[in-house]
Amino acid sequence: MANSRLTPGVVAQRLGDQDYSRNFADKDPLLDTHEAAVAADRCYFCHDAPCVTACPTDIDIPMFIREIQTGNPQAAARTILEQNILGGMCARVCPTEQLCEEKCVREVAEGKPVEIGRLQRYATDTLMSADVHPFTRGAATGKKVAVVGAGPAGLSAAHRLAMKGHDVVIFDAREKPGGLNEYGIATYKTADNFAQREVDWLMQIGGITIETGKALGGDLTLDGLRGDYDAVFLAIGLAGVNALRAEGEEKTHVTDAVDFIAALRQAGDFGSVPVGRDVVVIGGGMTAVDAAVQSKLLGAEHVTMVYRRGRDAMSASEYEQDHAASKGVRIITGAAPLRLHGNGAVAEIEFAYTEAGPDGLTLTDNTFRLKADQVFKAIGQTLDGVPAGLELTGRKISVTGAGRTSLTGVWAGGDCAAGGDDLTVTAVAEGRDAAEDIHATLMGG
Amino acid sequence: MADLTTDFVGIKSPNPFWLASAPPTDKEYNVRRAFEAGWGGVVWKTLGAEGPPVVNVNGPRYGAIYGADRRLLGLNNIELITDRPLEVNLEEMANVKADYPDRALIASIMVPCEEKEWKAILPRVAETGCDGIELNFGCPHGMSERGMGSAVGQVPEYIEMVTRWCKQYYDRPVIVKLTPNITDIRYPARAAHNGGADAVSLINTVSSITSVNLDTMSPEPSIDGQGSHGGYCGPAVKPIALNMVAEIARDPETRGLPISGIGGVTTWRDAAEFLALGAGNVQVCTAAMTYGFRVVQEMASGLSQWMDEKGITSVDEVVGRATPNVTDWQFLNLNYIAKAKINEDLCIKCGRCYAACEDTSHQAIAMSEDRTFSVIDEECVACNLCVNVCPVEECITMEKMPNGATDPRTGKVVDDTYSNWTSHPNNPAATAAE
Ligand SMILES: Cc1cc2nc3c(=O)[nH]c(=O)nc-3n(C[C@H](O)[C@H](O)[C@H](O)COP(=O)(O)OP(=O)(O)OC[C@H]3O[C@@H](n4cnc5c(N)ncnc54)[C@H](O)[C@@H]3O)c2cc1C
Ligand SMILES: Cc1cc2nc3c(=O)[nH]c(=O)nc-3n(C[C@H](O)[C@H](O)[C@H](O)COP(=O)(O)O)c2cc1C
Ligand code: SF4
């Protein structure tokens, strides 16, 4: 511990090793058998259950919970994974408070939902720790499908396609597969290298090859893939980031939150990751919360999140906001950055309060300054490197039905495709459904 | 995934889960949906004789017993047999059977105890193409007052006589459904066997009053301030049913007689227990009425997962596995000596074991100032009460004493050789030890 919370500037080693391991440990540890039994017992096995409707992958939640109740977590896992092959990751990262658990009849009645996410993790972890892969490949079809992007959408599509007997090659620009599961999700949600373990487990289906370090637009072209494969599934996520458009954005220690998070996820040793004493995060989504919370966990003294609209408009859920607050993050809403001050490195950042009017958001004359030796920009990711010839809707790839793009033989899903929330679970659902449609198309002709 | 296909007295079904004769099987609409949900077979709601159908009460027919969090543990009903015309039921049965040839369809029948009545209905039932019949000798309310249902089931001679008629006038399997409202289940089972039954099914419901409303002083369910005893079913009756199944399975006179196990089957585990005690399949009513038809999916996935884990490949291999381990009390090994053991790491210090043992058993648990609970081996008779009342699973366990150790309660050396009451010195009728 060379430094402390009070050391000025952006430095590593603010905390002791024990603090790091405690801070970045599993946030909601695995339920034990008794806890799972008690939690499962609360499920009413509702008819046409609202939780299922709220799950983007339509997991048969009452059924898997009943299977846990009856002492059969492996059967429960199978029920989950049939619908959502990344059920293990989703159990950890889904904002359940906005999805299944929000709609649980016990949430509505008592304000205390059945703990669906944690029960899902109990089931999937049980199966994965027994190293069971409950699915087998269908007879080989002789068809080849290229998947671009090894994030949740790409992995989900690849698994479903492999199950149907197709040969799948996944290309990814990064060094490791997993997409944001590996490079984005908060460390404490996916402790113990879960993202890679899950990819390894998923690959047990067979018939899938992953080629990392291969980028569409680099080594690969869409035309080339269309020529070499029977179908192409694009799952490239959102590789770009929005600019702040504030004066002084180029100063040292003003970086993209996603890069900070990716570096943190890849750091073998948390103590090696430098962090400021006074950190300011700009944005109101999950990325902003994760950057802010993890800065705090790395030992920053003051961390402030600043969002330009009101609290209700923040895309981070109330639960995420409370989590940030519980870690000591201050949240300021209704303020936008004007300029960053500092001589070379950032030292202060100046904000103006905003006002919502009929013409949208306007800046008021009321300004304030925050001390900042490190600033993270988390104001949204954008589609980057989309091949020419694909129609766009807004800033995403247009799709109809189960992910069909404007080009025949090319499907898209996950964050890069229009429609649906930018969530892991939505990416999994879109990947799965596109795979079904690709299969039907390839086999129908 | 293990194969759940079942052949019960020659009747094939894709799994051993049948719906018992009751409201879930009272019409074509239900039965089709049940088959779509995955049930292996159904026993149609009991048919009565030709003519005006019975009438049901027009107020509540059910009463319930709940566990914590309002989990339904027991259900009681005063419903009669089908109250729809015979022709309608027969036509619907024929339609369903034609569309679901791979599922079992059984007709349940209850007509007065006269040969001509049975002779009249059996050919009509046969025409539906159903796979067999079940004779309802079990209903404990209403029908019994009219000399049918359990009124027949309680008289072994009647059971035998009616079974014989059915075997004479019907050429497919005849299953005799038994009432538990009797002192020794072996007698009606033997009567069915002697009458030529292909199988017995049990249990039907247990005569009961669920509760009394202390404001109105009416038993529940209450019809205009009065109630009548009804039939109890659901998880609460499972232990009664398991014992009766085992009794028939191990009775030398009925051994080998196929049994359809009924009573409280709610999960795959319940079903596996019935099978292990000798049932060739199971029937379910209350679980479906509580949770809907979809519960069968958990039963099927759970049973098949368990069979896979045990390396069991067919349902037949499960049937009767536990039957040889059911014995009479007099044959239990009196040289098996155990002591309770409290795991202090798991103990949450509630003290329930202490209260139970101190107040009502053998004063064999010690409690220290800091609420540490430990077993006094000198006093412990291994009755298991502390295990049963402990809220923490596996916290208190029964540990067998090893051969050669001295039991501090009796001062005797533990001897691993088997010895039972029949040769015990305190037994006035003791025979010499073998
Ligand atoms: C910091 C952060 C935290 C988040 N936390 C949560 C959370 O807690 N819960 C939740 O549900 N969601 C969360 N999300 C959102 C979630 O991660 C995404 O919605 C999800 O990962 C989208 O999956 P995807 O497969 O579409 O894209 P990605 O996961 O982004 O994967 C895309 C893949 O494509 C590759 N790629 C990109 N361009 C190319 C190219 N040209 N050629 C080849 N490969 C390419 C990338 O390397 C990447 O591996 C978070 C997002 C961020 C940024
Ligand atoms: C409402 C109700 C009606 C029933 N009607 C019949 C019937 O018509 N014929 C019959 O043989 N059994 C009847 N039964 C008994 C069931 O078939 C079954 O034997 C009993 O409910 C025990 O099984 P369970 O614990 O799974 O419910 C009925 C049970 C209920 C709850
Ligand atoms: S379940 Fe309720 S609504 Fe349906 S018939 Fe019975 S009392 Fe009426």
CA of residue A237 to ligand 1 center, whole Å: 5
Question: What whole-number distance in Å separates Cα of residue B73 and Cα of residue B93?
Answer: 31
Question: What whole-number distance in Å separates Cα of residue B117 and Cα of residue B121?
Answer: 6
Q: Where are the beta strands (DSSP E) in A372-422?
A: 374-377, 381-382, 392-393, 396-397, 410-412
Q: Closest residue (by CA) to atom 3 of ligand 2?
A: B22
With the C-alpha atoms ordered A193, A199, A205, A211, is the resulting torsion angle positive or negative?
negative
Q: Where are the beta strands (DSSP E) in A108-177?
A: 144-148, 167-172
CB contact under 8 Å between A33 and B393, yes or no, is yes
- State which ligand 2 atom lies nearest to the alpha carbon of B177: 11
Domains of chain A: 33-129 (1.10.1060.10), 144-239+383-442 (3.50.50.60), 242-377 (3.50.50.60)
B317 interface with A at CB cutoff 8 Å: no
From the list A33, A67, A74, the residue facing B298 with the nearest CB is: A67
pLDDT at A228: 98
Average pLDDT over residues B161-169: 97
Catalytic residue among B130, B139, B233, B386: B139
pLDDT at B357: 97
B37 interface with A at CB cutoff 8 Å: no
DSSP A57: T
Residue B77 has which token pair? Answer: 């009903």
Question: What whole-number distance in Å separates Cα of residue B85 and Cα of residue B87?
Answer: 6
Contact yes or no for A120/A64 (Cβ under 8 A): yes
3-state secondary structure chain B: CCECCEEECCEEECCCEEECCCHHHCCHHHHHHHHHHCCCEEECCCECCCCCCCCCCCCCCEEEEECHHHCEEEEEECCCCCCCCHHHHHHHHHHHHHHCCCCEEEEEECCCCCHHHHHHHHHHHHHCCCCEEEEECCCCCCHHHHCCCHHHHCCHHHHHHHHHHHHHHCCCCEEEECCCCCCCCHHHHHHHHHCCCCEEEECCCEEECCEEECCCCEEECCECCECCCEEEECHHHHHHHHHHHHHHHHCCCCCCCCEEEECCCCCHHHHHHHHHCCCCEEEECHHHHHHCCCHHHHHHHHHHHHHHHHCCCEHHHHCCCCHHHCCCHHHCCCCCCEEEEECCCCCCCCCHHHHHHHHHCCCCEEECCCCCEEECCCCCCCCCHHHHHCCCCCCEEEEECCCCCEECCCCEECCCCCCCHHHCCCCCCCCCCC
Question: What whole-number distance in Å separates Cα of residue B123 and Cα of residue A110?
Answer: 56
Q: Which of B17, B73, B290, B298 to mutate to test the interface with A (most CBs of A within 10 A)?
A: B298
pLDDT at B103: 98
Residue A88 has which token pair? Answer: 């293990």
Confidence of residue B144 (pLDDT cuts 50, 70, 90): confident
Confidence of residue B140 (pLDDT cuts 50, 70, 90): confident
Distance from CA of A37 to the nearest CA of B (A): 11
- State which ligand 1 atom lies nearest to the alpha carbon of A417: 26
- State which ligand 1 atom lies nearest to the alpha carbon of A416: 26
Confidence of residue B149 (pLDDT cuts 50, 70, 90): confident
B419 interface with A at CB cutoff 8 Å: no
Contact yes or no for B427/B347 (Cβ under 8 A): no
Identify any residues that bridge with A396 across adjacent strands, giving them in sequence order. A393
Residues in chain B: 434
Give the residue carrying structure tokens 């269908």: A138
H/E stretch holding A302 reads strand A302-307
**Is B350 annotated as catalytic?**
no
What does the pLDDT look like over A216-227, one tens digit per residue? Answer: 999 999 999 999
Peptide bond into B221 cis (omega under 30): yes
Average pLDDT over residues B278-285: 98
Cβ-based contacts of A62 with chain B (< 8 Å):
294
Confidence of residue B151 (pLDDT cuts 50, 70, 90): confident
Return the exposure string of B132-158: e unless at least 16 CB atoms fall within 10 Å of the residue's CB, then b. Answer: bbbbbbbbbbbbbeeebbbbbbbbbeb
Contact yes or no for B355/B388 (Cβ under 8 A): no
Average pLDDT over residues B221-227: 95
Residue A364 has which token pair? Answer: 């008021």
Angle, vertex CA B174, rays to CA B170 and CA B180, nearest 5: 140
Cβ-based contacts of B294 with chain A (< 8 Å):
45, 62-63
Counted across chains A and B, CB pairs separated by less than 8 A come out at 42
Contacts of A404 (CB under 8 A, 6+ apart): A411, A437
Distance from CA of A66 to the nearest CA of B (A): 7
pTM confidence score: 0.92
- State which ligand 1 atom lies nearest to the alpha carbon of A384: 38
Alpha-carbon separation of residue B331 from B327, B422, B423 (angstroms): 7, 7, 10
Q: Closest residue (by CA) to atom 10 of ligand 2?
A: B21
Q: Which of B285, B289, B295 to mutate to test the pocket of ligand 2 (most atoms within 8 A of CB)?
A: B285
Give the residue carrying structure tokens 């669920």: B210
Residue A46 has which token pair? Answer: 């509702």
N- to C-terminal Cα separation, chain B: 46
Provide the residue ranges of all domains of chain B, joining segments of one domain with +. 6-325, 329-433
CA of residue B61 to ligand 3 center, whole Å: 10
Ligand nearest to the CA of B43: 2
Predicted confidence pLDDT, tens digits, chain A (445 residues): 789 999 999 999 999 999 999 999 998 899 999 999 999 999 999 999 999 999 999 999 999 999 999 999 999 999 999 999 999 999 999 999 999 999 999 999 999 999 999 999 999 999 999 999 999 999 999 999 999 999 999 999 999 999 999 999 999 999 999 999 999 999 999 999 999 999 999 999 999 999 999 999 999 999 999 999 999 999 999 999 998 889 999 999 999 999 999 999 999 899 999 999 999 999 999 999 999 999 999 999 999 999 999 999 999 999 999 999 999 999 999 999 999 999 999 999 999 999 998 888 999 999 999 999 999 999 999 999 889 899 999 999 999 999 999 999 999 999 999 999 999 999 999 999 999 999 999 998 6
The CA dihedral of A65, A70, A76, A79, to the nearest 10 degrees, is -80
Chain A residues whose C-beta sits inside 8 Å of any chain B C-beta: 33-34, 41-42, 45, 47, 62-63, 66-67, 69-72, 74-75, 78-79
* B331 phi/psi in degrees, rounded to 5: -100, 5
Alpha-carbon separation of residue B360 from A296, B364, B386 (angstroms): 57, 11, 11
From the list A34, A42, A66, the residue facing B393 with the nearest CB is: A34
What does the pLDDT look like over A257-291, one tens digit per residue? Answer: 999 999 999 998 999 999 999 999 999 999 999 99
In chain B, which residue's Cα lies nearest the Cα of A70? B267
Pocket of ligand 2 (CB under 6 A): B 20-23, 45-46, 75, 77, 79, 81, 108, 136, 138-139, 177, 204-205, 233-234, 237, 262-265, 284-287
Ligand nearest to the CA of A429: 1
Return the exposure string of B408-425: e unless at least 16 CB atoms fall within 10 Å of the residue's CB, then b. Answer: ebeeeebeeeeebbbeee
Question: Which chain B residues in 383-402 lie under 8 Å from chain A, judged by CB atoms?
Answer: 392-393
- CATH fold, domain B6-325, is TIM Barrel (3.20.20)
Q: Which of A70, A153, A84, A176 is nearest to A121 (CA)?
A: A84
Indicate if the pLDDT at residue B434 is higher than 70: no
Residue A85 has which token pair? Answer: 């092959």
Q: Which CATH architecture has domain B329-433?
A: 2-Layer Sandwich (3.30)
DSSP A294: H
Question: What whole-number distance in Å separates Cα of residue A180 and Cα of residue A150?
Answer: 9
Peptide bond into B203 cis (omega under 30): yes
Question: Which chain B residues in 242-281 lie under 8 Å from chain A, judged by CB atoms?
Answer: 267-269
What does the pLDDT look like over B291-344, one tens digit per residue? Answer: 999 999 999 999 999 999 999 999 999 999 999 999 999 999 999 999 999 999
Q: Where does residue A253 rank: exposed (0-12), middle (13-18), buried (19+ CB within 10 A)?
A: buried
Question: Angle between the A286-297 and A318-326 helix axes, to the nearest 10 degrees?
Answer: 20
Distance from CA of A200 to the nearest CA of B (A): 23
Query: Which amino acid type is present at position A157?
Result: A
Pocket of ligand 1 (CB under 6 A): A 93-94, 148-154, 171-174, 179-180, 184-185, 189, 215-217, 235-237, 239, 258, 261, 286-287, 290, 385, 414-416, 422-425, 427
Residue A349 has which token pair? Answer: 């950042």
Mean pLDDT of chain B: 95
Question: What whole-number distance in Å separates Cα of residue A279 and Cα of residue A371?
Answer: 8
Indicate if the pLDDT at residue B433 is higher than 70: no
Alpha carbons within 13 A on the beta-carbon side of B129: 13
Ligand nearest to the CA of A212: 1
Residues in chain A: 445
Residue B335 has which token pair? Answer: 């040289």
Q: Closest residue (by CA) to atom 4 of ligand 1?
A: A185
The reply to whether domains B6-325 and B329-433 share a CATH topology is no
Q: Which of A316, A6, A331 is nearest to A186 (CA)?
A: A316
Alpha carbons within 13 A on the beta-carbon side of A104: 25
CB contact under 8 Å between B301 and A33, yes or no, is no
